[in-house]
Amino acid sequence: MIRRATPLLAALFALLAGCVVNDVRPVAKVDAVQAKTQIAEVELLDVAIHEFDPGIPAALADDVEALDKRRIYPEVRKAETRLIATRLKSTLETSGQWGAVRVVPSTVRFVDLLVTGRIVESTGMRLSLEITASDAVGRNWINKKIYSGEADVGAYKTDASLRARDPFQNVYAQIANDLLQARERLDATQRAELRQVARLRFAADLAPQTFSAYLARGADGLTHLVRLPAENDPAVARIDKIRDRDAALIDTIDGYNSGFSEKLFDSYGGFRRTSRDAIEREERVKSQARTRTILGSAAVLAAILAKANCAPTDYACQRLESAARTAGAVGGVAAVMSGIKKYSDAKVAAQEVKELATSFQNEATPQVVEVEGRTLKLTGTAEERYREWRKLLAGIYQEENARPADPAVQP
């Protein structure tokens, strides 16, 4: 029987060998490449970053328990759609490589460079983002590339260190550097054309009959300039004026996103730090639970299958051997029960993370902005409001472009 038990015992100890929690080491820092010379205005590209997709699986959207197991807290993820986008924006801005960088609703389209993202994983220990970037001409700079990184534990040491460097700054820096490499593959002429295409695509969206002829899709599938309108064209002047109004609204939305991020900076950093500690504690407790359960099972099995060494007539020896077996079994059962208790402790730690998320979400309240008498709520409805704003801009253009002599135009 002992021979039959040996392979099972070996398997148990093999499992035990895998129940070790690795020590966390500092992460090597990655920084965004800084501009060393001033970039010409005509080549300085503006960047719009859409609020990120929260990455909540549709199949699990209503399954709270399943989401908890994946450490996905919907309200926190909704806040992170802007918080993470704003961290990326800050990285691009401070590099000095770009023009205006803004965090905007997904309905904003006509910009030099558009960046979209989806949150794949976001905990206090790890961040993983799926990033796509394309320009106004239609070139893909980054196509659904996954950027992942472990938290820099040094950033969690103090509140000041959290302010000084985001725990996942490496992820944002990697994205910024890839965008820079893609931009460097374009020459000065291509960058200048790109800016003109963005300008004329905006115009063609408002007045297609007037401006569509200036653009054409080439055999490469990209949008190219056919010709440029005259600079003294009154229609161009009106479009540029309207584009300035649109930029002012986008700046306002971006400003509220930045204010939202600043308001939650300390609490979000504290949430990440504390949740990391809770997750680490949960993993440690689970490891201890596995260890105790495996050792306890091995002790019980060994006690049951232990070979009898006493002579048939040596009753005193048999009593001692029986007592030893009983003690081994009792000790093994105690170890198993201790392991079960550890699993229970792990669930408590997981619940702590959830409660932290709930506490954080209470601070992540929507922002409301008033623009020219129109209220924009910076949640999902902001995109609907921006669509209304675009329709209003089209109306403004038609009104300003109408001839005064036209009897259909009212004062």
For residues 89 and 103, the answer to whether their CB atoms sit within 8 Å is yes
Q: How much is the pLDDT for 85?
A: 96
Reported as a pLDDT band with limits 50, 70 and 90, residue 31 is very high
Better-scored residue on pLDDT, 79 or 169: 169
Residue 16 has pLDDT above 60, yes or no: no
The percent of residues above 90 in pLDDT, for the chain, comes to 32
With the C-alpha atoms ordered 310, 311, 312, 313, is the resulting torsion angle positive or negative? negative
For the chain, give percent helix, strand, coil, nearest 5: 60, 15, 30
**Cα–Cα distance, 12 to 301 (Å, whole number):** 11
Check whether residue 138 and residue 203 sit in a common domain.
yes
Report pTM.
0.75
Do 196 and 287 share a domain, yes or no?
A: no
Residue 53 DSSP class: B
Amino acid, res. 366: P
pLDDT for res 148: 97
Using only C-alpha atoms, what is the Rg of the chain?
A: 31
Burial class, 308, CB count within 10 angstroms (exposed 0-12 / middle 13-18 / buried 19+): exposed
Are residues 57 and 106 both part of a single domain? Answer: yes
pLDDT for 336 equals 46
Residue 42 lies in a domain: yes
Provide mean pLDDT across the span 245-252. Answer: 85
Give the separation between CA 3 and CA 9, rounded to whole angstroms.
10
Answer yes or no: do 187 and 52 share one domain.
yes
- Structural domain boundaries enclosing 335: 275-361
Domain final residue pick, 263, 298, 321 = 263
* pLDDT of 405: 42
Angle at 409 between CA 404 and CA 411, to 5 degrees: 80
| Tokens of residue 45, six digits | 């590209």
Q: Which one has a higher pLDDT value, 127 or 292?
A: 127
Query: 3 lies in a domain?
Result: no
Whole-number Å distance between alpha carbons of 326 and 332:
10
Q: Which residue has the higher pLDDT, 317 or 233?
A: 233
The predicted pLDDT at position 4 comes to 45
Residue 226 shares a structural domain with residue 120:
yes
Same domain, 149 and 228: yes
Q: Which of 25-29, 45-49, 108-112 is predicted least confidently?
A: 25-29
Q: How high is the pLDDT of residue 394?
A: 77
Q: What pLDDT is stored for residue 151 in this prediction?
A: 93
Give the DSSP letter of residue 42. G
Residues 69 and 218 in one domain: yes
Domain closes at, from 242, 263, 284: 263
Q: Looking at the domain assignment, is residue 270 inside a domain?
A: no
Same domain? 317 vs 354:
yes
Same domain, 256 and 339: no
Based on the fold, state whether residues 338 and 232 are members of the same structural domain: no
| pLDDT at residue 302, rounded to an integer | 52
What is the number of residues in the chain?
411
**pLDDT of 52 over the 90 cut:** yes
362 or 153, which is more confident?
Answer: 153
Do 54 and 160 sit in the same domain of this protein? yes
Based on the fold, state whether residues 257 and 279 are members of the same structural domain.
Answer: no
Domain boundary among 211, 243, 263: 263
Answer yes or no: is pLDDT of 210 > 70: yes
Neighbours of 72 (CB within 10 A): 22
Q: How many domains would you assign to the chain?
A: 2
Is 286 within a domain? Answer: yes
| Residues 385-389, mean pLDDT to the nearest whole number | 73
- Per mean pLDDT, which of 13-22, 65-74, 136-145, 233-242 is the most reliable? 136-145
Residue 331: which H helix or E strand, with range?
A: helix 315-361
Give the confidence band of 54 by pLDDT, cuts at 50, 70, 90: very high
Report if residue 130 sits inside a domain. Answer: yes
